[in-house]
Amino acid sequence: MDADFARCTDAWIAHAVTGALSGAAWIGAAGLAFAMLAAWPGADTAMSRWPAALALLLALPQLWLLLRVAIDQRLFAALAAGAPDQPGLARLDAALLELGWMPAARAARPLAERARGALRLVRASAALTVCQLLLALLSLMLR
C-alpha cells in the first residue's frame, strides 16, 4: 500500500510540474514580447535605447529557458502518463546521459528533487519576464 501511495504521489508531482512548465512557456513568450516592445522602432533617444538594448539582451537567456522548459515539459508529461517509478527514472537518466544532457553525478535523483529543479526554471523565466516588462515600460516612458 505504501509503494502505491508513493507512486501516485509521484504521478501527481509530475502532473503539477507539467502544468507549471506549460505556464512557464507562456510567461517566457510574454517576456519575449516585452523585449520586442522595448525595442520597437521609435527608440530615438539615447535614454530610451539602453533599456531597449538590455531587454533584448535578456531575451537570449529567455530563449534558452523556453527551450529547457519545452524539453522538461515533455519529460514530465511522459512521467505523468506512466508510473514514474525508479526503473522509469533510471531509463530517463540513461537517455539523458547518452545525449550528454546530464552529468553522471545528477543521475538517480528522486522525482521531487527533479521537480524542484524544473520549478527553478519557471521562477527564472518569470523573473526575466518581470525585468523585460519593466525595461519595456522604462523604454516607452523615455521616448
Record the pTM: 0.85
pLDDT tens digits, residue range 115-133?
999 999 999 999 999 999 9
Instruction: Give the residue among 76, 84, 59 at the shortest CA–CA distance from 116.
Output: 76
Q: Could you tell me which residues come within 8 angstroms of residue 121 by beta carbon, excluding any fewer than 6 positions away?
A: 21, 24, 65, 68, 69, 72
pLDDT at 47: 75
